[in-house]
Amino acid sequence: MWTPSTRYPDPAIEIIDASFARYRVFSAAVERLATGFRWCEGPVWFGDGRYLLWSDIPNDRILRWDEESGAIGTFRKPSRFANGNTRDRQGRLVTCEHGGRRVTRTEYDGTITVLADAFDGRRLNSPNDVVVASDGAVWFTDPPFGIAGFYEGERAEPELSQNVYRIDPETGVLEVVASGIAGPNGLCFSPDESRLYLVESRGQPTRRIVAYDVVGGRALRDRRVLIDAGPGTPDGIRCDVDGNLWCGWGMGDDALDGVMVFNPDGRLIGRIRLPERCANLCFGGRHRNRLFMAASQSLYALYVDVQGCAGG
């Protein structure tokens, strides 16, 4: 049974490199906001409403947590096995759906617009995670995880290779920006959008986080391995304004479960221990300095002394 720490600083927040010390708030501890779910994913903050949305994939729903009251409610059910979520630059919800094998946008009136569900006449696999660049382009990953069985979607055979896609904000045209990826998963931009970071969650012999240079806001060049995960499993990732990577992590092992924090050079500088594997995370709160962590069966939060990048 997990219990929150009553000691400051919280021993769950580990300073591995001295450079991480400035990001720890001395009197802030890891909080469990809610529990009792099946597989939490895709947290996204709505500051204008002071609430967080996140996916509970096997239960086919998107949930909502209200900052003011702490109330938990259902935002959408069925969600078509929603996974990753983000907001576009007009504040609308953008969602990856395993069940629909598509990426959608929720309009201001609640109606749903399909942004992408096929490429070259073939159905997408199961869009996983998504980010929106400052120019409005939607970037997403498309592994086959959601069609591998009936737990997080509907079993089906993949029709496309495992790609990363970009949806043009003006034309809506879908294009492949990276192909042949072994399990493309979480992705995010550096603060200036000159780099795209991508989790290759089926990499061999180990899982890894790779970096690309972004050329002209639409092409990727110079792929390189930034972080070798070793025995761990990175999943969702987000950047802070200093360029550090905050990575959901785990492998069902107390020594690995939680969040790993790497500097822009890929050096591990800090860690947040959780009692469950963390699938994904986002920054939120009034000043984007509260880290929300969607772990296996629970939702956690921690105040940190840095802001998340806008659009993350």
Q: Is 41 annotated as a binding residue?
A: yes
End-to-end CA distance of the chain: 32
Q: Is 218 helix (H, G, I), strand (E, B) or coil?
A: coil
Q: Is 185 annotated as a binding residue?
A: yes
Q: For the residues of 106-154, what is the DSSP string, one character each?
A: E-TTS-EEEEESEETTEE------EEE-TTS-EEEEE-SGGGSSSSSS-
Selecting among 142, 235, 240, 257, the annotated active-site residue is: 235
Return the number of other C-beta atoms located less than 10 Å from residue 285's C-beta.
19
Nearest to 159 by CA among 146, 144, 174: 144
Distances, alpha carbon 22 to alpha carbons 17, 26, 72, 267, 301, in Å: 11, 10, 32, 16, 18
| Beta pairing partners, 259 | 248, 272
Known catalytic residue at 129: no
Q: Is 200 annotated as a binding residue?
A: no
Q: Is 117 annotated as a binding residue?
A: no
Which letter does DSSP use for residue 24 in this model? B
What's the CA dihedral at 223, 225, 226, 228 to 10 degrees? 160
Q: Just list the catalytic residues.
A: 235
Residue list, annotated binding site: 41, 128, 152, 185, 235
